[in-house]
Amino acid sequence: MIIHTIEELREKIKEWKKQNMTVGLVPTMGALHNGHLSLIKKSVEKCDKTVVSVFVNPIQFCPGEDLEKYPRTLEADEKLCSDAGVDIVFAPSPKEMYGEGHILSNDFLTYVIPPFFYTNKLCGKSRVGHFDGVCTVVNKLFNIVQPDFAFFGEKDRQQLIILKKMVKDLNIPVEIIPCPIVREESGLALSSRNKYLSDEDKKYALALSQILFNIKACYNKGITDVKALTETAYSYLNEHHSLEYLEFRDADDLEEKKIADDNTIVFIALKISDVRLIDNIALK
Amino acid sequence: MIIHTIEELREKIKEWKKQNMTVGLVPTMGALHNGHLSLIKKSVEKCDKTVVSVFVNPIQFCPGEDLEKYPRTLEADEKLCSDAGVDIVFAPSPKEMYGEGHILSNDFLTYVIPPFFYTNKLCGKSRVGHFDGVCTVVNKLFNIVQPDFAFFGEKDRQQLIILKKMVKDLNIPVEIIPCPIVREESGLALSSRNKYLSDEDKKYALALSQILFNIKACYNKGITDVKALTETAYSYLNEHHSLEYLEFRDADDLEEKKIADDNTIVFIALKISDVRLIDNIALK
């Protein structure tokens, strides 16, 4: 069942809460793939009722990013959700979420701003304001749906860490459930942006997971020096790759690591033919 | 009953919610006076259960402000609350609210930031960051208590307007109930900061309400030109007053008014012997 308005959704949720049902929320921007499906399945399994939100959130796109051309496939998304046992697909318009009559800026909108120490690195460095938009919309969705559990993929690991921090800092009564990255057989992490890749680009895109798997293998063999581990990456890169970052950071607070340990995440971002791809791996 | 920890409070609230009771929240910084009492009475009357929070919120004080010397009178506050039929006084420590181990800044804490257009004027101009601290702590209290209704005084009218905006922008499922200013017979608006005033200062402090009452009387006689209305104020001021602002603004979005109308609020702030006092009046 698809719902477009906040009011209608709230009424449904109210009914469920009255019956003491638990509610799971899977926030998405649509263009659903098997990665999303794994989150959805987890929610359907764990919760009495599951809401999947499908909303391409304008305020988390930075100037020059792909807001207009971001894939929108609502009909297919709805089908995937109903096949998976989702109770409600919540697909509001930008107007429903942010009103109209003024520009979407912090001049006229209340924002939820995650801490600078968490956002001034990795993806936050090139996507200034991105995580402000993410936290604001997720906060709104939490207030609208009032879920018991919310499901986020480890693919966007920095986002996951920032949202966990938001929940803790603002005492939000929601438990965040992290879900493992889903990969193609080749190793490529699923992403809605993979649709932008040509067949040839997709081959180059394997470098991300190969670099991460190789680093993990080296770590498992006992190499912990981050400099040495980083150097293992370069043989996978060629002129088709524009590396943005390859960094070793703490799984909880994103502090930089000089020596890798079991609480380390390796983060990578690179561009292929102007398509920006990210991936990460936990060394534990 | 006084509760100091979030966990203990949550358990109580959970019990109430299970019994479908409505919950009212009156957020305060303590040093309770009859102004607070009027909010508390309204909540006790309207809601099945009432929580009064007493927390001197460090992050809403600006550098150089009175955080250390802000009056703390928890025992008296508790007495006032229990006499008024309050169910729980929630008095957490700063550590309970913000954790410890790092400074309370947006480097390490998630903040809720109200729109710049609402905070770059009136009290926000001299108290930079104040409303960020207010919105953040109120957001936290809303998440902890999950009240159906929250009661705020019109004394802090800019704060009230900003909090209503926060609730709307973030879709927070709480209804904000504004409560009229309580005044001494002299006209002086009640404030915890009145404790800082000497008897002589208190006489000078009457200028605030006198100016506002006189402006309203002039408006009721048909004067709507803001310049003319503003000029009526000066005869009430002398060398003991340091006027910070006297402004006419929209009751919903704080837009400046050149011509007063029924949706206009007149705001005033001035200092007497270094004590900063504020007051306001709705022209309707």
Closest CA relative to residue B205, chosen from B157, B246, B238: B238
Q: What is the mean pLDDT of residues A252-275?
A: 97
With CA atoms as reference, the chain B residue closest to A105 would be B115
| Mean pLDDT of the A222-232 span | 98
- Compute the average pLDDT of residues A206-213: 98
What pLDDT does residue A104 have? Answer: 82
Residue with tokens 């109200």: B114
Q: Which residue has the higher pLDDT, A101 or B214?
A: B214
Residues A225-236 as b or e (16 or more Cβ within 10 Å = b):
ebeebeeebeeb
Distance, CA of B205 to CA of A130 (rounded, Å) = 47
Measured between beta carbons, the chain B residues lying within 8 angstroms of A169 are: 109-110, 140
Shortest Cα distance from B109 to chain A (angstroms)? 5
Percent of chain B with pLDDT over 90: 95
For the question of residue B36 being annotated catalytic, the response is yes
Contact B116, B29 (CB under 8 A): no
Asked if A210 reaches chain B (Cβ–Cβ under 8 Å), the answer is: no
Does B259 contact chain A (CB < 8 Å)? Answer: no
Choosing from A36, A130, A240, A241, which is the catalytic residue? A36
Residue B103 binned pLDDT confidence (cut-offs 50, 70, 90): confident
Q: Check whether A101 has a pLDDT greater than 90.
A: no
Across the range B170-196, mean pLDDT stands at 96
Helices and strands (H and E) in chain A: how many: 10, 10
A106 at B interface, C-beta within 8 A: yes
The tens digit of pLDDT for each residue in A129-147 reads 999 999 999 999 999 999 9
Higher pLDDT, B101 or B128: B128
Q: What is the ipTM of this complex?
A: 0.96
Q: What percent of chain A has pLDDT over 70?
A: 100
Q: Which domains are seen in chain A, by residue range?
A: 2-179 (3.40.50.620), 192-282 (3.30.1300.10)
Question: Is the Cβ pair B110, A113 closer than 8 Å?
Answer: yes
3-state SS, residue B106: coil
Average pLDDT, chain A: 96
Of all residues in chain A, the one with the smallest CA distance to B136 is: A170
Computed on alpha carbons and rounded to an integer, the radius of gyration of chain A in Å comes to 19
CA nearest neighbour of B122 among B114, A102, A246: B114
Q: Which of B172, B174, B144, B197 is CA-nearest to residue B13?
A: B144
A171 touches chain B (CB under 8 A): yes
Q: Round to whole Å and give the CA distance between A47 and A157.
A: 23
List own/partner pairs for A209-214 with CB under 8 A and 24 or more apart.
Answer: A209/A183, A209/A279, A210/A236, A211/A236, A211/A237, A211/A246, A211/A268, A212/A266, A212/A268, A212/A279, A212/A280, A212/A281, A213/A187, A213/A281
Contacts of B110 in chain A (CB under 8 A): 112-115, 135, 165-166, 169-170
Query: Can you tell me whether residue A15 is helix, strand or coil?
Result: helix
Residue B102 has pLDDT above 80, yes or no: no
For the stretch A23-71, pLDDT in tens is 999 999 999 999 999 999 999 999 999 999 999 999 999 998 989 999 9
Q: Which residues contact A141 (CB under 8 A, 6 or more apart)?
A: A25, A27, A53, A55
Taking CA atoms, what residue in B is nearest to A136? B170
Rg for chain B (alpha carbons), in Å? Answer: 19
Residue among B106, B107, B110 whose CB faces A170 most closely:
B110
Q: Is the pLDDT of residue B183 over 90?
A: yes
Residue B268: pLDDT over 80: yes
Distance between B16 CA and the closest CA of chain A, angstroms: 14
Q: Nearest-CA distance from B146 to chain A in Å? A: 9
Is A17 near chain B, with CB under 8 Å? no
Q: 């009452």: which residue's tokens? A: B213
Contacts of B173 in chain A (CB under 8 A): 10, 143, 146
Residue A278: strand pairing partners: A269
What pLDDT, on a 0 to 100 scale, did the predictor assign at position B101?
Answer: 73
Strands (E) located in A87-212: 88-90, 111-113, 149-153, 175-179
What φ, ψ does residue B182 adopt, rounded to 5°? -100, 130
Q: Would the pLDDT of A95 be above 90?
A: yes
pLDDT in tens, B200-240: 999 999 999 999 999 999 999 999 999 999 999 999 999 99
Q: How many CB atoms lie within 10 A of CB A224?
A: 16
Catalytic residue among B36, B130, B240, B241: B36
With CA atoms as reference, report the closest residue to B137 among B125, B149, B145.
B145
Does the distance separating the beta carbons of B106 and A140 come in below 8 Å?
Answer: no
